[in-house]
Amino acid sequence: MSPEQNHAAGGDATAQYCTFKVDHLLIGIEVWRVQEVIRHQPMTHVPLAPKEVRGLINLRGQIVTAIDVRQWLGLPGRSDGASSMNVVLRLNDEAISLLVDEAGEVVEPAADTHEGVPSTASGQIRTMFSGTYKLDGALLLVLDTESVTRISGENGAGAAHSATRRAS
């Protein structure tokens, strides 16, 4: 059974998540989706690409598109000098890097802390995240990795900021 099949079964009570910080948000991505986490890489800007696309990086000879999660969420850009981390995901045979502020630890939240995305969250949040976990002192937003493939540069920016505040 491939990881895809294995995990597509869903509802797995002991799911593990790699956690990442983006601004004030704590984002979780299922461990098996994450190929690797690497430090900031030199990037080639892609003119005319969707605004979420920060650039292309050379990952050992493979060209990987880097998505700026801040931009995707409609959050303000990183302050100057603050470097980002690349979280490289494998999505349908394509490697995509998500640029996050910091990489955190791997967590295994209890299944009973799982909740859906609050219905009060903005449309953008609801399309990006599949659910939440209430951790001690933080709310973990579980990224719906498939939503990465739907990025087209037309997401409503700005909505995320206030909406997630409410959600936490």
Nearer to another protein, 42 or 137 (CB): 42
Nearer to another protein, 21 or 144 (CB): 144
Nearest residue to 63 (alpha-carbon basis) of 72, 53, 78, 48: 53
Tell me which residues touch another protein (CB under 8 A): 42-50, 52-53, 55-58, 61-65, 67, 94-96, 149, 151-152
Helix-, strand-, coil-residue percentages of the chain, each rounded to 5: 25, 40, 40
Nearer to another protein, 91 or 106 (CB): 91
Give the residue carrying structure tokens 């690497």. 38
Strand partners, 142: 28, 131
Nearer to another protein, 16 or 44 (CB): 44
Min separation Cβ 92 and another protein, Å = 9
Min separation Cβ 71 and another protein, Å = 12
Tokens of residue 7, six digits:
């995990």
Min separation Cβ 55 and another protein, Å = 8
Min separation Cβ 149 and another protein, Å = 6
Dihedral over Cα of 11, 16, 18, 23: its sign: positive
